[in-house]
Amino acid sequence: MAPGAASYGEEDVLRARFYRLLSHLLQAPPKVEDIELLAGMTGDSTPLGEAVGGVARVAAGIAPATIAREYHNLFIGLGRGELVPYGSYYLTGFLHEKPLAKLRADLIRHGIERAPEVREPEDHIAALCEAMAGLILGEFGEPATLDDQKTFFKTHIAPWAKYFFTDLEAAKSAVFYAAVGRAGVAFMEVEETAFEML
Amino acid sequence: MSGKRDEDTGKRRDFLKLAGFAAVTGGGLLAGGTKPAEAAVEPETPSHGYRETEHVKAYYKLARF
């Protein structure tokens, strides 16, 4: 498949699934059934595989209520959590800044819009991961070309996401989510390396 | 030129094949979202209750006037 062609291969489905997994875990704490699935994951000896194995091990050994509490302390707190998982915040120190405006314009161009009942800004890491999954799989129209995906990734995700995942790995409140952070770092590195090959 | 492009995407595909995804089995969760295409951002969750409370408090405060 050439970078200008709009379709996707098996490895792109796997990428999209990984984005979706991250999105799922970062928008809400996983439910009991999800945790069981996570505990059943296996990974090989690559950095990504090992990070996934790490998530599975923690998922297998931690109580769901503990994960929920982690999520709350990390992302909700009282007014704010330990981390602020928004692109504008990481790039400018404030929410609702230029990076968000740029993202909104790009989302409109791609036919993606915020669900009406959602109040949070679109540059939340979970939303961006969801956007990438949808672009890869063609859920907002035709599957995005690799060039298009690369541009979107480099513009809206690459400048800050790895820093966020690194912070997540190191966060005080994080044990399960520390493993998720490590998986996020590994995945971002795979995405960066793969896009650089184009 | 298109030969180079194809070569690049081939290299990329080979890299991704060895990047560790294929071993990530985890069934339904990875097959992922039941979210509709338009819901590209975070839906409301019960843990957003704190924000609701702050807005309600602000309303009550304003409602006194």
Contact A134 B19 (CB under 8 A): no
This complex has an ipTM of 0.88
Query: A132 by DSSP, 3-state: which?
Result: helix
Query: A144 by DSSP, 3-state: which?
Result: coil
Chain A CB within 8 Å of residue B16 CB: yes
Q: A50 to each of A34, A94, A182, A186, B30, how far by Cα in Å?
A: 20, 34, 9, 9, 17
Q: Give chain B's end-to-end CA distance (angstroms, integer).
A: 71
Q: What is the tens place of the pLDDT at every residue in A53-63?
A: 999 999 999 99
- Reported as a pLDDT band with limits 50, 70 and 90, residue A1 is low
- Reported as a pLDDT band with limits 50, 70 and 90, residue A131 is very high
**Which superfamily is assigned to A10-196 in CATH?**
TorD-like (1.10.3480.10)
Paired with A42 in beta bridges are B25
Closest to A6 measured CA to CA, from A196, A132, A146: A146
Q: In this structure, what token pair is assigned to residue A165?
A: 């995942």
Angle ∠(A62,A64,A67) on CA atoms, nearest 5: 75
Chain A CB within 8 Å of residue B48 CB: yes
Q: What is the tens place of the pLDDT at every residue in A72-125?
A: 999 999 989 999 999 999 999 999 999 999 999 999 999 898 888 888 899 999
Q: Please state the domain extents for chain A.
A: 10-196
| Chain A residues close to B43, C-beta within 8 Å | 27, 115, 117-118
- What residues contact residue A136 under an 8 Å CB cut-off, 6+ apart? A8, A12, A13, A15, A16, A19, A143, A144, A149
pLDDT at B29: 56
Q: Decide if pLDDT at B62 tops 60.
A: no
Paired with A124 in beta bridges are A86
Q: What is the tens place of the pLDDT at every residue in B27-42?
A: 445 545 444 333 334 3
Contact A74, A81 (CB under 8 A): yes
Distance CA A182, CA A177 (A): 8
Q: Which residue has the higher pLDDT, B49 or A51?
A: A51
pLDDT at A47: 96
Q: pTM above 0.80? A: yes
Q: Decide if pLDDT at A9 tops 60.
A: yes
Chain A CB within 8 Å of residue B29 CB: yes
